[in-house]
Amino acid sequence: MTDKTETASRLRSLLGEPLVHFVLAALAVFVAWNMVSQSRASASRTIRVSHADLERLASLYAAESGALPSKEDMLAMVNDYVRDEALAREARQLGLDQNDTIVTRRLAQKMTFMISDLADDPDPDEQTLRDWYTAHADRFTEPQAITFTHVYFSEDVRGSKAESDASAALTRLNAGADWQHVGDPFMLQRTYGDLPVREIARLFGPDFAKALAAAPASDAWFGPVRSALGLHLVRVSANMPSRVIPFDEARDAVLADWKDETRRNENEAAVQKIVGRYKVEIEGADAK
């Protein structure tokens, strides 16, 4: 079961990246090998995007989308075009277009390599992990969370009296009245434990969340505080500031994050490395 799960999860990780990235990563390896083994002929290193190409891209877009491309769409398409063209040329130089067997074998080798690569993926050293943790502290931070009890005064029920009713109740609560029998029924909970401020905003609206975030823990009730739903008297019994999780506690999450992003970056870097070898000329555009 465990083996199966692990295999499935490995496959999932693989498939989580577009398959095309395998090809790209494979290409990057082959390109490096190629560069060492032979001095490259100075084949065409210019990708020319002609008017005709631009028109073709635009009409393809219009046919597929039923709309004319905007400037942004065109830019994105040209970028994709250049990227594909650069990779395709590299592939042709490697002879990948000439013999399907080569493609198949290389892919199979690469696939095997990547699976074993994942299995034996050496963890980064301690310092790399710690640097990663420091550089991305926001990802390993628990948000500010508040434990509070509130009593609700509905303006839909009480109208303009809601505020004075709430103020009168405040005195009673601070004199020891039982909060469970004060105020109007509230559809959700009257007590929340360790609720992140973002959640408070989702449940009560942003102003209420802001007011509670600024309230120190105390036995005293305060308010009325306005939310998107009406008025509330509030007792904040704990206000935990956001906390950076200590490295040792966060280690697993740091490692997972490092791996995820490293893999994503490596794929992208492989592509960019290849694309970067080409000079791009777009007809009608200023040279850059």
Partner 1 sequence: MLKRTTALAVILLLSACGKTTTGPAAPEGAPAGEPDAAAAGRTAGYNPDRNAYFGDLHIHTRDSFDAYIFNVRATVDDAYRFAQGQTIRHPSGFDMTIAGGPLDFYTVTDHSEYLGILPAMNTPGTKLSELPRAKDMFSTDPDKILAAFQGVGASVREGVPIEEMYDLNTINTVWAAHVAAAEKYNQPGKFTTFSAYEYTSVTSDTGDGGFGGGNLHRNVFFKGTAPTQVFSTLDSTNPEDLWDWMDKQRANGLESIAIPHNSNVSDGQMFRLETYNGEPLDAAYAEQRMRNEPLVEVTQVKGTSETHPDLSPNDEWANFEIYDELLGSYNVSATHGSYVREAYRNGLKLQETEGFDPFHFGLSAASDSHVAGGAYSEADYWSKVGIVDGTPVARGSVPFPGTTSWDDQPDNQITRNAKNWFSRWSASGLTGVWAEENTREAIFDAFKRKETFATTRPRMRVRFFGGFGYADGIMDAADLAHRAYEGGVPMGGDLVGTGDAPSFIVWAQRDPNGGTLQRVQIVKVTSDGEDVIDVACDNGTPDPSTRRCTDNGASVDMASCTPVNSGASELKTLWKDPDFDPSRRVTYYVRVLENPSCRWSTWEAMRNGTPPRPDVPQTIQERAYTSPIWYIPGN
Residues forming contacts to partner 1 in the complex (CB under 8 A) are 1, 5, 8-9, 11-12, 15-16, 18-20, 23, 56, 60-68, 70, 72-73, 75-76, 91, 96, 100, 103-104, 106-107, 154-157, 180-194, 198, 201-206, 227-230
End-to-end Cα, the chain, rounded Å: 56
Can you say how many angstroms the Cα of residue 68 is from the centroid of all Cα atoms in its chain?
30
User: How many CA atoms does the CB half-sphere of 179 hold within 13 Å?
Assistant: 20
In whole angstroms, give the CA distance from residue 72 to residue 78: 10
Q: Which is nearer to partner 1, 47 or 231 (CB)?
A: 231
User: Residues near 196 by Cβ (< 8 Å), separated by ≥ 6?
Assistant: 143, 144, 145
- CA dist list (Å): 69 to 51, 53, 128: 15, 14, 44
In whole angstroms, how close is the CB of 149 to partner 1 at the nearest point? 8
Q: Which is nearer to partner 1, 6 or 126 (CB)?
A: 6
In whole angstroms, how close is the CB of 203 to partner 1 at the nearest point? 6
- In which residue are the tokens 């109007």 written? 184
In whole angstroms, how close is the CB of 58 to partner 1 at the nearest point? 12
In whole angstroms, how close is the CB of 257 to partner 1 at the nearest point? 13
Q: With H, G, I as helix, E, B as strand and everything else as coil, classify residue 175.
A: coil
In whole angstroms, how close is the CB of 84 to partner 1 at the nearest point? 11
Q: Which is nearer to partner 1, 23 or 213 (CB)?
A: 23
* Cβ count near 61 (within 10 Å): 18
- CA dist list (Å): 247 to 7, 37, 252, 258: 29, 44, 9, 14
Q: Which of the 8 DSSP states describes residue 67?
A: S
Q: Which is nearer to partner 1, 65 or 128 (CB)?
A: 65
Q: Which is nearer to partner 1, 24 or 47 (CB)?
A: 24
Are the beta carbons of 207 and 226 closer than 8 angstroms?
Answer: yes
In whole angstroms, how close is the CB of 125 to partner 1 at the nearest point? 26
Q: Which is nearer to partner 1, 29 or 203 (CB)?
A: 203
